A and B are shown apart, each in its own frame.
Chain A
């Protein structure tokens, strides 16, 4: 099962390596990872999506993270009310005949078309994972040139 964990860490060099090293050394899988500064510039936030087979492994992951000296707090969103978002860019090869249909799909999914060129366009979508996957499913008939997908970010309600 996938779990979203938010880790507040000291904003120092090497901290990302400590967290990543912990996951690899103990054989835990990271699905996605997002890191950036918080409102306090001495603190960074890492939002990690992990795949833990059971509750026991999830507990261990949280405890092991807490044990790292540079980790300040670990927040597990599993049993919390929270909002999550991911961001994608998709570059799609289209000719004029397809464009109208693509626009319609994008509008329905609340995705923005950022660039329109002769033979391709770039679409942006910010949404939760299910919505993004759903949207990508609808693009199956188009020629997808490139997909850029961010890690997840999350905030408790």
Chain B
């Protein structure tokens, strides 16, 4: 078989049914094989879109997302998408074409050092120089991407390796001597954690994306309910625990709910699961949760004691560790008083916004939630649109929240929504966008329309790069430098791409437009012209302690 045939055969055997990408000179042999292959190929309109679509697909399905590009600019265009997946620990395999092996290093046409460029933003990467290594490399790439702490793996494939021939041997077993993730937690450590939970007076579960990638939502719910432990999630952990659950405090951190932040700051025991104490969560690190002992469960040892000193580290897979932990807790702690205190905070500092006759972005998101029963997949762009989405769309299911966390990539939402819609065709998929970020990958409207992927795009159009404007308002004396936007006519733009375009300028218009969108079996882009200077509150200014929130409530 040729290298290109081996590649496609391996992808099939890995269970890949769709990939996203863009053709070019040095990947022609692969595209020629794809022409006859029973493998869905989605042509995006930009390689960045392909990487984000593969990422969105992976988040929505839990499977490895696959993208493909040519060498040089094709590969460099993937890089933002790869970095995005890396920061959020998303399993992805990115295949890039490369110039002929004998030209590598010669500054050949469309050559770039892809393994060099992607090294800091991948879990691992490969340059395959010998066709005999190809099948094993692909197998390893999928194994590495999807196990341990997941992440993107790049395979750089020179064109002459694609065209040369060898006997195809499928490596049934894969064993990498230098890579063996720890799955089971240390029983002694878990017992210690169980004892601490039994004795805690003000415990709190702080859960992140690790719970979702491990598929540990059931175990988390059992642990929380059985022991009456309140739960706050990170941005990446949204959906890991039902948003409407009485024990759920929503998100914590810079734009977290006031009650989640008060609860974590005042707690005496933090049980961190699959979360990494990043700066947006902890605020000022030396002021973070001063009275709390910390149990930290994570599959990645480097996440433990990186930012914050941990009392009981447990390296292992969240699902297995939580299952064991539940078994070791003999007596549930008495958290009645503590939950009462949290309820007081919830009443005192509710999540709110001004209810008047103006069209406010939070209202739009509340209505999207109402009309979809909290059951839609919500992708977002980055900025205010994203923060309002995490606060006002309470997700009940894991893998329904598709948003760029660690890297904060504007332009992620639309292609990611496309990937999610392909992975979950039965679901309603929304991209909640800002008028700034939607324009960063607007070309993917074509991908959605021509592949009949009926994603709904809700643009919260405030005529600004809203989050930057908010910071300028609060910290730069309202000097709105480079943040006011002049926008195209989004309705006409949607129509030009063959999508449906709607515009809403009043509160009354929101529900009818959303209903029309949901009843339309096509891409619909709704331009919600909202209050221009609405801010995301609560907010902890960067570098401040978590309980020093700017309120700004109605």
The residues of A with any CB-CB pair to B shorter than 8 Å are 9-10, 14, 17-18, 21, 25, 56, 59-60, 63-64, 66-67, 69-72
Contact = CB atoms under 8 A, between A and B. Distances in A.
Contact of B176 (A9, A21, A67, A69): A69
Given A69-B144, A69-B179, A72-B178, A63 B119 contact: no
B322 to A, nearest CB: 23
A65 to B, nearest CB: 10
Given A60-B302, A67-B302, A14 B120 contact: no
A60 B305 CA distance: 8
Contacts of B177: 72
Label chain A's interface by main secondary structure.
helix
Contacts, number: 34
A63 B120 contact: no
Given A66-B301, A72-B178, 19 more contacts: A9-B178, A10-B178, A14-B115, A14-B119, A14-B127, A17-B119, A18-B119, A25-B120, A56-B309, A60-B302, A60-B306, A63-B301, A63-B302, A67-B300, A67-B301, A67-B302, A69-B178, A70-B124, A72-B177
Interface string B167-185: 0000000001111000000
Interface residues of B, number: 18
Contacts of A67: 300-302
A71 B116 CA distance: 18
A131 B550 CA distance: 60
19 contacts: A10-B178, A14-B115, A14-B119, A14-B127, A17-B119, A18-B119, A21-B119, A56-B309, A59-B305, A63-B301, A67-B300, A67-B302, A69-B123, A69-B124, A69-B144, A69-B176, A70-B124, A71-B178, A72-B177
B156 to A, nearest CB: 11
A70 B123 CA distance: 11
Nearest to A22: B120
Interface string B267-310: 00000000000000000000000000000000011100110010
The 6 closest A-B pairs by CB, nearest first: A69-B124, A72-B178, A63-B302, A63-B301, A69-B179, A25-B120
Interface in B44-66: none
A63 B305 CA distance: 11
Contacts of A18: 119
A69 B300 CA distance: 13
Nearest to B178: A72
B183 to A, nearest CB: 16
B27 to A, nearest CB: 22
B468 to A, nearest CB: 27
A43 B306 CA distance: 29
Name the residue in B115, B116, B179 with the highest tally of chain A Cβ atoms < 10 Å from its Cβ: B179
Contacts of B144: 69
A104 B120 CA distance: 52
A101 B220 CA distance: 76
Contacts of B300: 67
Contacts of A69: 123-124, 144, 176, 178-179
Nearest to B123: A69
A41 B124 CA distance: 22
A72 B179 CA distance: 8
A68 to B, nearest CB: 8
